């Protein structure tokens, strides 16, 4: 009896799987000890949904996690001015960063300390910590309260959502949960908390979950190397001595880590959304680390300017200027009337 022949597999399954770029990197085998007490931590730092950061024009009725925040008050259907976009020079990935106030409130709050200061700090709490509940000392004189902004319907919905979240935060917790919150806050005070999410596109990531999972690990590892050990890439002369023998090596600048220990590379209370491609999956660390450094520096600079705009007092109202109010306006109006009169006389 002849054995049954196995069915033929489709060509899509027989196609070769792209492998990771294997480049010898002895520098990563023994990392130097970081001057930081704790490194970058990613767990449990995204309190909501990132839909409004990825697509600001998306229609969603869920409230913001912090509706009293200036970024949430200024968000409109045309987009948000509080977002920072960075594109990779090699088109390997893209990062969109936005304040956590633009995150949509989740349907269920699993963490006992949601709203207790472990995931993010609300705008009202920041003002109270600065010494004023109305924002006069923190935001400067003349800064309007959140109730005077436009969009009364959104303000009412936001007030209800804020009251609901505050009730959840003030609910009676067991002694074990209180100890957990205190221990969690102690860890975050020494570490570098970073809220990072990944938005994968099947067409750009090969349609397999493994590619997206591996790319996520590579980005997080590169960020940790930059923040904890000050990793950077330099070009050194190879053994041959020619121009073609120049190789890239990863070096660690611990003095840089010591200098930026307080300020850091990561924005607090901001969420980073990474959009990877298959090029990121194949990219070695000698190419990924410089782009990660550039991305973190760019987002840090732009986001700092955005936060300064939140506390900057608004400009005084100026009535619109008419055509005759500026030099040359009257002559322009007269010339227009004269041309109209000539057209009527020509008829």
DSSP conformational letter for 215: H
Looking at per-residue pLDDT, the higher value among 7 and 12 belongs to: 7
| Residues contacting residue 186 through CB under 8 Å, at least 6 positions apart | none
Cβ–Cβ under 8 Å, residues 302 and 84: yes
Whether residue 91 is contained in a domain is answered as yes
339 in a domain, yes or no? no
Whether 83 shows a pLDDT value over 90: the answer reads yes
pLDDT at 333 over 90: no
Q: Give residue for tokens 């633009």.
A: 102
The pLDDT of 61-81, averaged and rounded, is: 79
Evaluate whether residue 56 is within a structural domain. Answer: yes
Q: Which residue has the tokens 């500026």?
A: 326
Segments forming the whole domain that contains residue 62: 21-312
Q: Is the pLDDT of residue 25 over 50?
A: yes
pLDDT in tens, 173-190: 778 878 888 888 888 888
According to the model, what pLDDT value does residue 93 have?
94
**Do the domain assignments include residue 325?**
no
196 strand-pairing partners? 272
What CA–CA distance (Å, rounded) separates 206 from 278?
7
Dihedrals phi, psi of 14, to nearest 5 degrees? -85, -10
Report which of residues 182 and 162 the model is more confident about. Answer: 182
Give the pLDDT score at 27: 67
Task: Record the tokens describing residue 115, joined without a space.
Answer: 């709203």
Please identify which residue in the block is written with the tokens 């709203």.
Answer: 115
The structure's pTM equals 0.73
Please check whether residue 340 lies inside any domain of the structure.
no
Which pLDDT band, with edges at 50, 70 and 90, does 14 fall under?
A: very low
In a domain, 203, yes or no: yes
Instruction: Give the pLDDT confidence score for residue 156 in this predicted structure.
Output: 36
How many Å apart are CA 265 and CA 36, to the nearest integer?
13
By percentage, how much of the chain surpasses pLDDT 70? 67
The answer as to whether 330 is a domain residue is: no
Q: What is the mean pLDDT of residues 247-254?
A: 89
Q: In this structure, is residue 7 part of a structural domain?
A: no
Contact 251, 234 (CB under 8 A): yes
pLDDT of residue 84: 94
- Rounded distance between C-alpha atoms, residue 147 and residue 157, angstroms: 12
The pair of structure tokens assigned to 39 is 């490194």
Sequence-distant (6+) residues with CB within 8 A of 15 are: none
d(CA 291, CA 285): 10
> What's the domain count of the chain?
1
Distance CA 91, CA 89 (A): 6
Is residue 235 scored above 70 in pLDDT? yes
Q: What is the pLDDT of residues 271-296, one digit of tens each?
A: 999 999 999 998 999 999 999 999 99
Averaged pLDDT for residues 97-121 = 76
pLDDT of residue 172: 64
């Amino acid at each position: 009896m002849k054995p049954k022949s196995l069915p033929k597999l489709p060509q899509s399954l027989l196609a070769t799987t792209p492998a990771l770029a294997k480049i010898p990197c002895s520098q990563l085998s023994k990392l130097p000890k970081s001057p930081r007490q704790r490194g970058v931590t990613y767990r449990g730092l995204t309190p909501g949904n990132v839909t409004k950061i990825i697509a600001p024009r998306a229609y969603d009725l869920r409230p913001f996690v912090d509706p009293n925040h200036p970024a949430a008050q200024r968000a409109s259907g045309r987009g948000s001015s509080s977002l920072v976009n960075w594109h990779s020079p090699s088109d390997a990935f893209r990062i969109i960063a936005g304040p956590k106030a633009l995150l949509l409130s989740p349907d269920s709050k699993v963490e006992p300390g949601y709203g207790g200061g472990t995931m993010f700090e609300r705008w009202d709490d920041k003002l109270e910590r600065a010494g004023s509940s109305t924002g006069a000392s923190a935001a400067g004189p003349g800064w309007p309260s959140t109730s005077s902004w436009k969009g009364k319907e959104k303000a009412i919905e936001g007030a209800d959502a804020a009251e609901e979240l505050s009730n959840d935060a003030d609910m009676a917790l067991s002694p074990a949960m209180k100890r957990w919150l205190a221990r969690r806050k102690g860890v975050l005070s020494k570490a570098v908390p970073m809220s990072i999410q990944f938005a994968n596109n099947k067409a750009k990531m090969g349609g397999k979950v493994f590619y997206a999972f591996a790319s996520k690990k590579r980005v997080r590892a590169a960020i940790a190397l930059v923040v904890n050990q000050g990793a950077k890439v330099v070009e050194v002369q190879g053994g041959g001595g020619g121009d073609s023998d120049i190789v890239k090596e990863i070096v660690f600048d611990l003095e840089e880590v010591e200098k930026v220990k307080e300020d850091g590379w990561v924005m607090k209370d901001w969420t980073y959304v990474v959009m990877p491609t298959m090029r990121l999956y194949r990219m070695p660390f000698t190419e990924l680390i410089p782009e990660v450094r550039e991305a973190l520096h760019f987002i840090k600079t732009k986001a700092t300017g955005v936060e300064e705009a939140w506390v900057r007092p608004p400009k005084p109202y100026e009535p619109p200027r008419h055509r005759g109010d500026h030099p040359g306006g009257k002559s322009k109006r007269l010339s227009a009337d004269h041309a109209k009169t000539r057209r009527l006389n020509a008829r």
